[in-house]
Structure 1
Amino acid sequence: MTKTDVLPFFSRAVSWMLEGPSHVLLSLTCALIAWYALDFLSRPQYFGIPGPFLAKFSDLWLTRQAMRGDRWRVVDDLHRRYGKVVRLAPNHISIADADALNPIYGHSTGTLKEERFYSGFVPPAPAVRGLFNTTNRAEHTRKRKAVSHAFSPKQIVSFEHFIRKDVQLLLDRWDEFCKAAEEKQTEGPRGLKGYAWLDSLEWMNFFAFDTIGDLAFGSTFGMLESGKDVAMAEVEDANGNKETKKCSAVETINLRGEVSATIGLVPYWLRPLTLRLPWFAKRLQAVRTLTGIALARVNDRLVNGSERDDLLAALQSAKDEKGEQMEKRELTAEALTQLIAGSDTTSNTSCAILYHLGSTPDALKKLQVELDKELVNAEDVPLMSDVDRLPYLQGVLNESMRTHGTSSIGLPRVLPAQGAVIAGHFFPGGSVLSVPTYTIHHDASVWGADARQYRPDRWLDANYKKKTEKAFNPFSVGPRACVGRNVALAELSILIAALIHRYDFVLEEPEKFFQTREGFLKKPVELRIGIKRRGSARAS
Structure 2
Amino acid sequence: MQNSSVLLRVLGALVVGYIFERLIRSALSPLRAAPGPFQARYTDLCISDPEALNTIYGHGTRFAKSSWYDAWVPPNGWNLFGDRSIQRHANTRRQLQSTYSMTSLVSYEPYVDECTEIFSQRLSEMSTAGTLVDMGHWLQCYAFDVIGQITYGKRIGFLDRGADIQGIMSAIENGLAYGTLIGIYARFHRVGFAVVNFLAGKKGAGREYIVGLSTTRIAEEQENRKIMASHSENLTIAEPFVSKFLAKYEQDPEKFTMQHVLAGCTANLAAGSDTTEQLRAEIAGFQQQGSLSSSFSFKETQQMPYLQAVIKETLRMHPATGLPMERVVPEGGATISGYFFPEGTIVGINSWVAHRNAQVFGADADEFNPGRWLISDGDKLAAMNRQWIPFGMGSRTCIGRHISTLEISKLIPRIVRDFDFELLGGGAKNSWATQNVWFVKPRGFQVKVTAREPERRYKETKGI
The count of corresponding residues between Structure 1 and Structure 2 is 431
Seen in structure 2, the aligned counterparts of structure 1 residues 220 and 40 have a Cα distance that, compared at 3 Å, is same
Distance across 2 between alignment mates of 1:145 and 1:49: 38
Structure 2 residue aligned with 1:201: 136
Within 5 A, what are the aligned runs for 1:184-333? Answer: 197-230=132-165, 247-268=166-187, 270-271=188-189, 285-305=205-225, 309-318=239-248, 324-333=254-263
1:504/1:537 contact within 8 Å kept: no
Deviations 1:233-278 (A, max 9, x none): xxxxxxxxxxxxxx3222221121111121111051x456766999
The partner residue of 2:356 within 442, 461, 484 is 442
Query: For residues 29 and 174 of structure 1, what CA distance do their matches in structure 2 show?
Result: 53
Answer whether contact 1:402 1:472 (CA < 8 A) is retained.
yes
Q: Distance in 2 between matches of 1:43 and 1:281?
A: 43
Equivalent position to 1:411, from 306, 325, 349: 325
| 1:265–1:86 Cα change, 3 Å | same
CA distance in 1, matches of 2:340, 2:401: 33
- Pairs within 5 Å for 1:113-512: 113-114=65-66, 116-123=67-74, 128-178=77-127, 180-181=128-129, 197-230=132-165, 247-268=166-187, 270-271=188-189, 285-305=205-225, 309-318=239-248, 324-341=254-271, 346=272, 361-376=273-288, 377=290, 378-463=292-377, 464-509=380-425, 511=429
Partner deviation per Cα, 1:359-406 (whole Å, 9 max, x = no partner): xx1111111111111134444321111212211111111111111111
Q: Look up the equivalent residue of 1:387 and give its one-letter code.
A: T
What are structure 1's unaligned runs of at least 5 residues?
Answer: 1-23, 51-78, 182-194, 231-246, 347-360
- 1:27, distance to aligned residue in structure 2 (A): 13
Aligned to 1:523: 441
Seen in structure 2, the aligned counterparts of structure 1 residues 38 and 513 have a Cα distance that, compared at 3 Å, is closer
Distance 1:88 1:105, change over 3 A: farther
Give a deviation string over 1:93-149, Cα, whole Å, max 9, x none: 2111221111001112211111x211100136xx53221111112211110011102
Q: 1:47 to 1:508 in 2, by over 3 A?
A: closer
What is the rounded CA distance, in whole Å, between the counterparts of 2:318 and 2:23 in structure 1?
40
Give 1:491 deviation, angstroms: 0.9
Rounded Cα–Cα distance in structure 2 between residues aligned with 1:317 and 1:330:
12
Once the two structures are TM-superposed, the CA of residue 31 in structure 1 deviates from its matched residue by 10
* Residues 329-349 of structure 1: CA deviation (Å, up to 9, x unaligned): 3311221111122xxxx2xxx
For the structure 1 residues 87 and 332, does the alpha-carbon distance in structure 2 shift closer, same or farther, using more than 3 Å as the test? farther
Amino acid at match of 2:356: H
Partner of 2:232: none
Q: 1:33 to 1:113 in 2, by over 3 A?
A: closer
Cα 1:537–1:311 shift into 2, 3 Å = same
Report the CA distance between 1:490 and its aligned residue. Answer: 1.2
> Following the alignment from structure 1 to structure 2, what is the Cα–Cα distance between the partners of residues 453 and 156?
33
- CA RMSD in angstroms comes to 3.3
CA change 1:533–1:419 in 2 (3 A) is same
The answer as to whether partners of 2:313 and 2:369 remain within 8 angstroms in 1 is yes
- Distance across 2 between alignment mates of 1:490 and 1:122: 28
Identity %: 24
Deviation at 1:303, TM superposition (A): 2.6
Query: Which residue identity does 1:44 align to in structure 2?
Result: S
What CA distance in whole angstroms lies between the structure 1 residues aligned with 2:248 and 2:87?
Answer: 17
Q: Partner of 1:426: helix, strand, or coil? A: strand
How far is the alpha carbon of 1:196 from its aligned partner?
Answer: 5.0
**How many angstroms apart in 1 are the aligned matches of 2:217 and 2:183?**
27
Measure the CA separation in 2 of the matches of 1:113 and 1:479: 11
Q: Tell whether 2:54 aligns with 1:102.
A: yes
Change (3 A) 1:26 1:226: closer
Aligned with 1:36 (options 21, 27, 30): 21
Look up the SS of the partner of 1:46 in the other structure. Answer: coil
Aligned-partner SS, 2:450: strand
Moved more, 250-259 or 212-221: 250-259
For residue 266 of structure 1, give the secondary structure of its aligned residue in structure 2.
helix
Residues 1:430 and 1:502: Cα distance change in structure 2 (over 3 Å): same
Cα contact 1:129–1:330 (8 A) shared by 2:
no
Return 217-226 or 290-299, whichever deviates more: 290-299
Contact 1:99/1:470 (<8 A) preserved = no
The CA deviation string for residues 288-343 of structure 1, in whole angstroms up to 9 with x for no partner, is 322222222222212333755122223233479988453323311221111122xx
User: In structure 1, what is the Cα distance between the partners aligned to 2:146 and 2:446?
Assistant: 22
Deviating more after overlay: 251-260 vs 504-513:
504-513
TM value normalised by structure 2: 0.83
CA contact (8 A) 1:117 1:412 kept: yes
SS at match of 2:453: helix
